[in-house]
Amino acid sequence: MNILLAIDDSKSSEAVTRALIAQTPPKGTEVRVLHVIEPLPIAYSGGEWGYSVDWQKVTQDQKTKAEALLTETAGTLRSAGFTVTAAVQEGSAKSIIVDSAAKWPADLILVGSHGRKGLDRFLLGSVSEAVARHAPCSVQIVRAAKG
C-alpha cells in the first residue's frame, strides 16, 4: 500500500503521524512524507514603509525547517518499520498534494485538519477539505485532540 502523508509543523501533523503508526501495519506499506512550502505573499519592501525583507533568507529558513521536520517524521516512521521517502515541494499545498498522490500513485492520503472555522477558514482555506474533494484516492483527515 502506498500512503502519502502530508504534513506541516502543526499538532495536526503530529496526530496524523501517530494515527498512521497506530492504524497501519508497516509490512508492505510505503509512506511518502510530503511538506509543501506555500508561496510567500507579495509585499512591499523598502521605500515609504521603511523596511526591507530578505525573501530569499525567509524562503531558505522555511526549507531548512521543512527538511528538519521531514527528517524527524521519516525517522519516526522508519523506527516503526515503514519504508519511507520524503520530499519538500513549493507551491499550492492543495494542488501539490493531489497531484503527488495521482503521479505516485497513492492508495491513501493522510492529512491533518487544523479545525478552523468561520473567518479563519474562509481566509486561509481548508487544505484537507480541498484534498478530500479532489484526490484520486481515499483520504483520511485526522484532527489533533483539543487541549
Q: Is 15 exposed, middle or buried (0-12, 13-18, 19+ CB in 10 A)?
A: middle
Confidence of residue 145 (pLDDT cuts 50, 70, 90): confident
Q: Where are the domains of the chain?
A: 2-31+55-143
The answer on pLDDT for 146 being more than 80 is no
Q: Tally the C-alpha atoms within 13 A of residue 72's C-alpha that lie toward its C-beta.
A: 14
pTM value? 0.85
Q: Tell me if 37 sits within 8 A of 59, measured CB to CB.
A: yes
Percentage of the chain with pLDDT > 70? 81
Is the model's pLDDT at 115 over the cut of 70?
A: no
- Residue 102 phi, psi (nearest 5): -70, -45
What number is the average pLDDT over the span 70-76?
A: 96
Rg, Å, the chain Cα set: 17
**Across 5-32, average pLDDT:** 92
Mean pLDDT across the chain: 85
- What is the pLDDT confidence band of residue 123, given thresholds at 50, 70 and 90? very low
Say if residue 116's pLDDT is above 60: no
- Quick one: cell of 130? 480541498
Sheet (strand 30-37) strand order: 83-90, 30-37, 2-6, 108-113, 138-143
Q: What would be the CATH architecture of the domain defined by 2-31+55-143?
A: 3-Layer(aba) Sandwich (3.40)
pLDDT band at 119 (very low <50, low <70, confident <90, very high): very low
What's the rounded mean pLDDT across residues 68-90?
96
- With 70 as the cut, is the pLDDT of residue 42 above it? no
d(CA 10, CA 55): 23
Q: How far apart are the C-alpha atoms of 126 and 128, rounded to whole Å?
A: 5
Would you state the cell numbers that stand for residue 136, as one nine-digit string? 484520486
Give 48-58 pLDDT, tens digit per residue. 554 566 778 88
> What's residue 124's pLDDT?
41
Cα 142 → chain centroid = 12
Distance CA 51, CA 142 (A): 40
